[in-house]
């Protein structure tokens, strides 16, 4: 097995002047036991009984599955022990006999498809364990998953416990409130027999994930004296693929397991920002209930588009809170970052790689971020398109900046743009040929080279056409909430989509907002006050205004009652574009309260006023 695995041995209660009676039960016998200790001065007829710290441990390192049992739907490929010839999964060849659902006969974990949803269900269950006399109950195990996509939620596994030897079963932590650590990834997509239950459903490759539970007896799942069983229940849908779901190193005991968990990192990802002046402060709360956080291990890793890749140590600012800055960047720069931390036991944890852009662009989203099936648009020459309406993000006109897709697999597509219309796409505008989808992850295509701007009240159609040698589909969600916006192009004909909203998103740069004229030397010919960005303002807001001529100008902030909060500008200004940063503080330097505010630009002959919101 890989070196991240933790092997458990029996934990003995060391007691001074106690003599153990009987011999130890071997771990591989998989039988809980009780030790009887006697004080040397105690008469033989009145023994003092101390229950041993009991545990059931199974690493599956043998040639058969007994005493575990498996079951599930017919022909679903029951759980089995991996053999040593497998080229798939977390280790090849497999030196340990960990469990996985798939094809035991061939050791090829490509699930047989039932051809219709809901798909199949298969489980592996522990032997019955008598927990009479146990004061508590903890479970722990390791799992590894390579499912149908990184986060498509079609396939997944849950943990169940039976208090009556397998007669009835209850899902542990069914609402993912933290009875398991780490708890389940997400609800399933209702395409398998587990329906929409919370489950472990994301790909973990290349790492094993160690799971431990809270005291299941204290939580009411079982009681002292129960005959319990524990099982892992795995379900997959009609279109399953991937290498499998594996479990190993099961421990069921009345004491907590060793520290298996990495630190818990709580962080709110930074959104896109229009601020090109201030540094971007990354803040995270990092805790570890086991061995404690190693403060020297807290690292902010960030990557700048066309720039450096940097690792910087984060600083403890308040108990459990760490901060580090990413330097300010110029317009339309992408930034990727990740927070990493270790505990004193050496367990490392990290966030996902998070992306934000320094831009004033608005993102138009119609999907619910819950991938479901791909539409039946998979043939060369066919494609999917979304009508993106600028009014849905509060602007009248804009420049197409980026489009994002979530495809079901790899393949080549051409990106195309058409004029908007009330129904099917209008006239062809432009295209980008030869984009290669990596599959099962969000892909971003830069549309700036096309230089497409529009004030069409019906928006613009953006989508793709499948390349001549490929077959690839775009994922969609389960419910069609925007039927007028989703269109397929099949066999050279436009047809409305009928299944769900496409996972396709568009970023648009407002024509009257910051950044649009920065590549020209022409001054603005109008007096204009742009919308603050971002809005709502949490810390710093960028306010841009344009002057057609040199003049005296003032820019002031007022609260909702009309009281002056702060004067940002009161001076002579040249013609052209000007930017001002408001740090959401009043004239005395005090942070203003959350609420609605107004900012007013006063020129020699004109005035403009806009509203902003401050949130804390």
Give the model confidence (pLDDT) of 427-448 as tens digits: 999 999 889 888 777 888 989 8
- Angle at the Cα of 341 (from 338 to 343), degrees rounded to 5? 165
* Residue 221 CA to its chain's centroid (Å): 29
Residue 518 has pLDDT above 50, yes or no: no
Reported as a pLDDT band with limits 50, 70 and 90, residue 99 is: low
What distance in Å separates the CA atoms of residue 67 and residue 32, rounded to the nearest whole number? Answer: 13
pLDDT at residue 29, as a whole number:
35
Number of H helices, E strands in the chain: 0, 44
Domains of the chain (ranges, CATH numbers): 54-260 (2.60.120.260), 264-357 (2.60.40.10), 362-510 (2.60.120), 528-614 (2.60.40.4070)
For residue 574, CA distances in Å to 277, 547, 578 come to 21, 7, 9
Residue 462 phi/psi, 5° resolution? -130, 140
Dist CA 147 CA 237 (whole Å): 11
* Cα 264-270-275 angle, rounded to 5 deg: 150
Q: In the numeric block, which tokens belong to residue 354? A: 């998070």
Residue 24: the pLDDT is 26
Cβ contact 520:423 at 8 Å: no
Mean pLDDT of all residues in 246-259: 88
pLDDT band at 101 (very low <50, low <70, confident <90, very high): low
- What phi and psi, each to the nearest 5 degrees, are found at residue 27? -60, -45
- Residue-level pLDDT at 573: 86
Q: Which residue has the higher pLDDT, 145 or 29?
A: 145
Q: Taking residues 212-232, report their average pLDDT.
A: 94
Determine the average pLDDT of the residues in 207-218. Answer: 91
Above 80 in pLDDT, residue 312? yes
Q: Is the pLDDT of residue 239 over 70?
A: no
Higher per-residue pLDDT: 388 or 247: 388
Selection from 433, 381, 395, 360 nearest residue 579 by Cα: 360
Tokens 């909060």 correspond to: 565
Residue 1 above 50 pLDDT? no
Between 293 and 533, name the one with better pLDDT.
293
The single-letter DSSP state of residue 166 is T
CB 143 within 8 A of CB 211: yes
> Token pair 């291990």 is at which residue?
297
- Enter the tokens of residue 14: 């060391």
DSSP H helices, 153-283, are none
Q: Is the pLDDT of residue 377 over 80?
A: yes
Per-residue pLDDT band for 607 (boundaries 50, 70, 90) equals confident
Q: Please state, in angstroms and rounded to a whole number, the distance separating the CA atoms of residues 254 and 264.
A: 24
CA distance 605 to 601: 11
Lowest mean pLDDT among 30-39, 126-135, 153-162, 464-473: 30-39
Residues 6+ apart with CB under 8 A from 235: 118, 119, 120, 121, 122, 155, 156, 157, 188, 192, 193, 194, 199
Q: Which residues contact 43 (CB under 8 A, 6 or more apart)?
A: none
Rounded CA separation 217/139 (Å): 11
10-14, 136-140, 399-403, 405-409: the lowest-pLDDT one = 10-14
User: How large is the average pLDDT for residues 154-159?
Assistant: 91
Q: pLDDT tens for residues 445-479? A: 989 888 899 999 999 999 999 998 888 889 888 88
User: Mean pLDDT across the stretch 370-377?
Assistant: 76
**pLDDT greater than 50 at residue 265:** yes
CA of residue 371 relative to chain centroid, distance: 13
The secondary structure of residue 240, as a DSSP letter, is: -
Question: How far, in Å, CA of 117 to CA of 121, rounded?
Answer: 12
Least reliable range by pLDDT among 301-310, 371-380, 577-586: 371-380
**Predicted confidence band of residue 419 (pLDDT cuts 50, 70, 90):** very high
- pLDDT for res 516: 38
Residue 5 confidence (pLDDT): 33
- Maximum average pLDDT range among 44-53, 104-113, 324-333, 368-377: 324-333
Q: How confident is the model at residue 171 (pLDDT cuts 50, 70, 90)?
A: very high
65 close to 80: Cβ distance less than 8 angstroms: yes
pLDDT at 242: 59
**R_g of the chain, CA atoms, integer Å:** 30
């Amino acid at each position: 097995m890989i070196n991240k695995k933790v092997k458990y041995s029996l934990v003995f209660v060391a007691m001074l002047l106690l003599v153990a009676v009987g011999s130890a039960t071997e771990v591989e016998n998989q039988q809980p036991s009780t030790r009887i200790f006697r004080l040397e001065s105690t008469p033989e007829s009145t023994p003092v009984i101390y229950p041993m710290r009991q545990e059931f441990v199974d690493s599956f390192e043998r040639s058969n599955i007994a005493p575990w049992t498996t079951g599930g739907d017919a022909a679903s490929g029951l759980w089995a022990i991996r053999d040593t010839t497998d080229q798939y999964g977390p280790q090849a060849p497999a030196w340990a006999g960990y469990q996985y659902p798939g094809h035991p006969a061939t050791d090829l974990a490509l699930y047989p498809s039932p051809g219709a949803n809901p798909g199949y269900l298969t489980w592996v269950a522990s032997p019955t364990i008598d927990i009479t006399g146990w004061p508590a109950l903890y479970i722990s195990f390791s799992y590894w998953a390579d499912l149908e996509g990184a986060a498509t939620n079609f396939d997944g596994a849950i943990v169940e416990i039976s208090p009556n030897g397998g007669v009835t079963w209850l899902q542990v932590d069914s609402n993912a409130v933290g009875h398991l650590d780490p708890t389940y990834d997400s609800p399933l997509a209702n395409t398998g027999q587990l329906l929409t239950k919370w489950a472990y459903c994301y790909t973990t490759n290349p790492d094993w994930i160690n799971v431990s539970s809270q005291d299941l007896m204290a939580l009411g799942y079982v009681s002292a004296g129960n005959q319990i069983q524990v099982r892992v229940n795995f379900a997959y849908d009609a279109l399953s693929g991937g290498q499998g779901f594996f479990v190993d190193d099961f421990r069921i005991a009345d004491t907590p397991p060793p520290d298996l968990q990495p630190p818990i990192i709580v962080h709110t990802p930074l959104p896109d920002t229009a601020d090109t002046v201030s540094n971007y402060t990354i803040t995270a709360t990092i805790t570890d209930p086991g061995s404690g956080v190693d403060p020297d291990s807290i690292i902010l890793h960030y990557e700048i588009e066309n720039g450096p890749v940097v690792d910087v140590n984060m600083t403890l600012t308040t108990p459990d809170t760490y901060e580090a800055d990413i330097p300010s960047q110029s317009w339309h720069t992408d930034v990727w970052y990740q927070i990493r931390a270790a505990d004193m036991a050496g367990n490392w944890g990290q966030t996902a790689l998070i992306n934000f852009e320094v831009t004033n662009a608005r993102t138009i989203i119609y999907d619910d971020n819950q991938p479901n099936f791909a539409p039946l648009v998979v043939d060369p020459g066919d494609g999917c398109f979304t009508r993106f309406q600028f009014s849905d993000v509060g602007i009248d006109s804009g420049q197409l900046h980026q489009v994002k897709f979530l495809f079901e697999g790899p393949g080549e597509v051409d990106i195309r743009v058409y004029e908007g219309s009330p129904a099917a796409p209008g006239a062809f505008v432009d295209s980008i040929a030869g984009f290669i989808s990596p599959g099962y992850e969000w892909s971003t295509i830069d549309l700036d080279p096309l230089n497409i701007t529009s004030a069409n009240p019906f928006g613009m159609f953006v989508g793709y056409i499948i390349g001549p040698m490929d077959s690839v589909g775009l994922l969609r969600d389960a419910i069609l909430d925007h039927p007028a916006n989703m269109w397929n192009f099949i066999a050279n004909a436009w047809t409305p989509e009928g299944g769900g909203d496409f996972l396709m998103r568009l970023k648009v740069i407002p024509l009257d907002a910051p950044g649009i004229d920065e590549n020209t030397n022409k001054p603005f010919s109008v007096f204009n006050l742009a919308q603050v960005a971002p809005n709502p303002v949490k810390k710093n807001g960028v306010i841009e205004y344009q002057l057609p001529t040199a003049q005296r100008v003032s820019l002031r902030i007022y609260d909702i009652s009309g009281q002056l909060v702060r004067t940002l500008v009161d001076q002579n200004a040249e013609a052209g574009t000007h930017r001002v940063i408001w740090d959401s503080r009043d004239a005395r330097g005090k942070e203003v309260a959350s609420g609605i505010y107004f900012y007013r630009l006063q020129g020699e002959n004109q005035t403009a006023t806009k509203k902003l919101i401050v949130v804390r």
